[in-house]
Amino acid sequence: MKVKGDNIFSSRSEIIGILAFKLGAMSVSEAKELIKEGIEEGIIEESEEGLIVKVNLIEEEEKKRDIFGEIVEYLAKELNLTELEVMEEIKRLEERYGNLDKKLLAYLYGLEKGLDMSKFKEELENGGNYYAED
């Protein structure tokens, strides 16, 4: 397997080989599905050079997930709830406020409960789009 660059792969087979055989991270069919989803979501682009994995998009998505997880963890700890209970409360807010991003709903839940949410404010302000992308 020859990797043309850190994020450029010569073929789907190359990525499948790395994910399924070299790393053992998933089965061949799971790797195929992951590549298909990556292309559909714009994370992987097919070009003349090969398959280009847009690492910056993956990192942005992970960062979004991380801040939500951090907020949920913080809320659970501060409110003496389980993370599942916090998620249920956020779901209730979603029903009330509609199609808002889960990070923002979690933030609003914390404010509603009187918690100091200032450590998440800047991160959320820089996030931009607060409408869910489902």
d(CA 72, CA 120): 11
For the chain, give the mean pLDDT: 82
6 DSSP 8-state letter: T
Assess contact for 86 and 109: CB atoms under 8 A: yes
130 DSSP 8-state letter: -
Percent of the chain with pLDDT over 90: 24
Question: Where exactly are the structural domains of the chain?
Answer: 3-53, 58-125
Judging by beta carbons within 10 Å of its beta carbon (0-12, 13-18, 19+), is residue 108 exposed, middle or buried? middle
pLDDT score at 114 = 96
d(CA 67, CA 6): 26
Q: Tell me the pTM.
A: 0.50
**What is the average per-residue pLDDT within 14-28?**
84
Task: Note the pLDDT tens digit of each residue in 63-113.
Answer: 665 788 899 999 999 999 999 999 999 999 988 888 888 889 999 999 999
